[in-house]
Amino acid sequence: VFQYSLPVASIVANFTPPSDGKPSLLTHDEVETLFHEFGHIMHQTLTRAPYASLSGSATAQDFVEAPSQMLENWVWNKQILARISGHYLDNSKKLPDDVLNKMLEAKNFNQGYFYTRQLVLGLTDMTIHTQQGAVDVDATYDKTYEELLG
């Protein structure tokens, strides 16, 4: 007899522990990790798939990180950060805009190069695996790199 079981998931992670009379104060990086993993929790628990083997992270490999990536973006949003953060003794003291702006600049630094290089790697792979006969891997990479990055 088929019986639907509600999905159950948990996050097992290492975060900054409480210390010196202070509660656990997560770094921004840890908050991003928490949101990322919570994306997996949402993916695992909001399913209505009839079989566990077809639900949650048992999905197309290129989609498995999508919910987590979406939630990660929220920790870089000023309004979201204002709602979820503040000084632990005075929650009205929020992360200053200039600090968040510097964090965003650091996060975005070099992203054009990073993603263009990812494109080089993907196109090189596609080129190598769609050619007939012998393939010069180094020449294919060099040509693709030259075309996209100079």
Sole binder of Zn ion in the list 33, 68, 124, 144 (CB under 5 A):
68
Ramachandran region, residue 48 (left: φ > 0; alpha: ψ -120 to 50; beta: rest): alpha
Residue 30 among the catalytic residues? no
Give the phi and the psi of residue 93 in degrees, each rounded to 5. Answer: -85, 105
- Rounded Cα distance between 82 and 142, Å, is 46
How many secondary structure helices (H) and strands (E) does the chain include? 6, 0
Which position's Cβ is nearest Zn ion? 68
Comparing CB distances to Zn ion, the nearer of 30 and 65 is 65
Interface segment toward Zn ion; rule CB under 5 A; list 61-69, 101-109, 112-120, 129-137: 61-69
CB of 36 to Zn ion, least distance (A): 6
Residue 47 in the binding site for Zn ion (CB under 5 A) = no
Catalytic residue among 32, 37, 65, 72: 37
The residues of the shown chain that bind Zn ion, judged by CB under 5 A, are 65, 68
